[in-house]
Amino acid sequence: MLFTAGCGEYSEKTVQPEIEEEAKDLIVVGFSQVGAESDWRKANTESMLETFTEENGYELIFEDAQQKQQNQITSIRTFIQREVDYIVVAPVMEDGWDTVLTEAKDAGIPVIVVDRQVAVEDKSLFTCWVGSDFELESRKVCEWLRSYCEVKEIEPDTVGIVNIQGTLGSSAQLGRSKGLREAVGRNGWNLIAEASGEYTQAKGREATARLLRQYDDINVVYCENDNEAFGAIEAIEATGKRVGNDIDKGQIMVISFDGVSEEAINDAKAGKISCIGECNPLHGPRVDKIIKDLENGVTPDKYEYVDEDIFSAVRDVRTVTVDDTDYDIVLLQ
């Protein structure tokens, strides 16, 4: 280090003591993830793990709740005890968060909600949310089905739908089920039954097989995620029926959401899944930006919706319109 002083200038080099490796001032994030129930969830987890790294300025504490809300509540309490800088939670269902989020607020720890939403009276219990508009996803897919039936001259009252729902009470299930029920009423379709497949392939197969045994007028299986659709396809083919778009020729159509796995896209290309409402899982960079903004005193939007597409290999429908907005179908080759 150079010193200058008084009348005579002199310099004195001192050997700066080894500067201690500056303790990296990492931002500590506690992330409570729903589980590992689906390809979407795995892609979402991967996005978060790839983002919240030491190189990017974070220490991440990751907890997998195995689809149980109590595990998430326990994790959040652990994060509070460890005095993390931020809590990020992908809530398994919407209800039941008021108490534990109040504890986080009382501890002065910001909570960022990602993917599904929390239903709390006091909106100050979370800083912000980022995720999908699940009802819009459903309305776009149902508009695709309406357009398809119109082009193919399939009478609405011959459309018999079962809904293989996701985890009951989750935002994705609530939105995708609501969108379907309203489309059924608007278009004159028959909603034969609803049953939860809990977003897994096994439960999706079980639920579909059970409904196929109970009803003989099903020609559309609406699955609230791809993994349920994989199970539904297995169940339909096990009965000797064919999965496909030609519901007026005895085939059973499968519709789905997510579109994150190669298997789903290949099934769509093969006509086994007729239409997929995209659900974008890549929330890591979005949450990173929210935290970096907060660190810099910038207030994020309370709700941030991600843009999403519709995938299909069916060429009869090119665009759907919802609320005066046109959405081009991403045609799979």
Residues 149-188 that bind ligand GZL (CB under 6 A): 172
Task: Determine contact, residues 225/40, Cβ cutoff 8 Å.
Answer: yes
Q: Alpha-carbon distance 154 to 219, whole Å?
A: 12
- Kindly give the pairing relationship between strand 303-305 and strand 128-131: parallel
What does the DSSP assignment read for 60-75?
Answer: EEEEE-TT-HHHHHHH
Residue with Cβ nearer ligand GZL (107 or 202): 202
Residue with Cβ nearer ligand GZL (205 or 219): 205
The packing angle between helices 134-152 and 171-187, to 10°, is 30
DSSP H helical ranges for 155-283: 171-187, 201-214, 226-238, 262-269
Token digits of residue 161: 């739908």
Sole window of 35-43, 242-250, 286-294, 323-331 interacting with ligand GZL (rule: CB under 6 A): 35-43
Residues 213-242 that bind ligand GZL (CB under 6 A): 225
Residues 36-55 that bind ligand GZL (CB under 6 A): 37-38, 40-41
Residue with Cβ nearer ligand GZL (109 or 276): 276
Q: How far is CA 298 from CA 4, 127, 281, 284, 292, in A?
A: 42, 12, 24, 18, 8
Q: Alpha-carbon distance 51 to 69, whole Å?
A: 24
For ligand GZL, the binding residue among 279, 287, 313, 314 (CB under 6 A) is: 279
Neighbours of 63 (CB within 10 A): 17
* Residue carrying structure tokens 């999403």: 308
- Residues 125-144, mask of contacts with ligand GZL (x by CB under 6 A): ------xx------------
- The number of residues that bind ligand GZL (CB under 6 A) is 14
Residue with Cβ nearer ligand GZL (80 or 174): 174
Does position 32 interact with ligand GZL (CB under 6 A)? The reply is no
Residues 107-126 that bind ligand GZL (CB under 6 A): 115-116
Residue with Cβ nearer ligand GZL (27 or 223): 223
Sole window of 32-40, 139-147, 156-164, 187-195 interacting with ligand GZL (rule: CB under 6 A): 32-40
Neighbours of 217 (CB within 10 A): 9
Residue with Cβ nearer ligand GZL (129 or 199): 199
- Residues 238-267, mask of contacts with ligand GZL (x by CB under 6 A): -------------------xx---------
Per CB under 6 A, residues contacting ligand GZL are 37-38, 40-41, 115-116, 131-132, 172, 199, 225, 257-258, 279
